[in-house]
Structure 1
Amino acid sequence: MTDATDGPVKIDRAQQFITALPYARALGMRIDELGEGVAVVSMPFADHLVGDPHSGVIHGGVVSALMDTCCGAAVLSHPSVRSSTATLDLRIDYMRAAKPGQRLSARAECYHITRSVAFVRAVTTDEDSENPVASATGAFTIEAPRHG
């Protein structure tokens, strides 16, 4: 955010963007923080997202979708980005299973920008936030703003 007074407005706009994405809406994603190239996006546990019915562990693809969305939000919140973005590359390291029944939260930081690519790193935790569920690094496009 370029101005602290824009905070709630920018988060509201970003949340509207997320709820417009059918998969993000289906996963119940919510923007918790946004600004200056940093985003925190969370989602609740849901039984229909379980990948292993015996353990109740959420599917890794759900974690991937959360991290991808959070990274994109971090890019879009960077002060020098005035356009849309798309994922070029996202590498995820899964460190442990998320605990069944717990909310997942991803925090992403856009740490370097070139003219056409943004570089992002992220960590996902459950409510036991001392031990990450997964970490990611990624590259995202930065499209030239359209004029006219």
Structure 2
Amino acid sequence: MDAPASPPAAKFDPAAATPFFTSRGHAGWLGLQYSDHGDDWVELELPWREDLLGESAQQVLASGPILSLMDMASGLAIWKAMDDFRAIATLDLRVDYVRPARVKASVFGRAQCYRLTRSAAFVRGLAHDGDGDDPVAHIQAVFMKIAVDPRKPHGD
């Protein structure tokens, strides 16, 4: 009797990749953390920190770190949707802030890659502070897929 065929292993696992990306650089400094993912979406958490406030009297996260959260979640969602890790670049990232986050609340960023073409990836998503039905911000983004590593001679 033959054993049932197992599905092919995924090439890109956001849960495994996120610690690599969030242990260095800007994402590492922000303290971004993996939260969850699906076939074409990824959710990350931006923990509340006093040094990330927009105004010290308000005690809510500034808009800049939320933008960075959504950019990183978008990239991970694209790699998950492609099931491959390769170079991409943010071409356009629009953020519509609906309201400030709650006082001393972490913000979660969920991005979904809803369309892939030969050269581009399209993403939508939202940032929330615990209730996805009451978002802090919405995003729309377009990323360029980079087919060739510009640091290597052509043909490599």
TM-score normalised per structure 1: 0.86
Q: How far apart are 1:7 and its partner, in Å?
A: 9.1
Partner of 2:22: 18
Instruction: For 1:36-115, list aligned pairs within 5 A.
Output: 36-79=39-82, 81-115=84-118
Say how many residue pairs are matched: 145
Measured in 1, the distance between the counterparts of 2:128 and 2:117 equals 29
Q: How far apart are 1:17 and its partner, in Å?
A: 2.2
Write the deviation string for residues 105-138 of structure 1: whole angstroms up to 9, x where unpaired: 0111000111111000010000244310000000
Write the deviation string for residues 43-89 of structure 1: whole angstroms up to 9, x where unpaired: 21000011112211211111111111111111111136552211000
User: Contact 2:11–2:83 at 8 Å: present in 1 too?
Assistant: no
Superposed CA RMSD in Å reads: 2.3
User: Contact 2:91–2:142 at 8 Å: present in 1 too?
Assistant: yes
User: Contact 2:43–2:108 at 8 Å: present in 1 too?
Assistant: yes
SS class of match (1:57):
coil
**Aligned AA (1:89):** D
TM-score normalised per structure 2: 0.82
**Aligned AA (1:65):** S
Change (3 A) 1:11 1:116: same
SS class of match (1:78):
helix
User: Contact 1:29–1:44 at 8 Å: present in 2 too?
Assistant: yes
**Aligned AA (2:98):** M
Unaligned runs of 5+ in 1: none
- Stretch of structure 1 that moved more, 133-142 or 7-16: 7-16
Change (3 A) 1:88 1:9: closer
Unaligned runs of 5+ in 2: 1-6, 150-154
Question: What percentage of aligned pairs have identical amino acids?
Answer: 30
Q: 1:139 aligns with which of 118, 138, 142?
A: 142
Which structure's residues are more often helix, by fraction?
A: 1
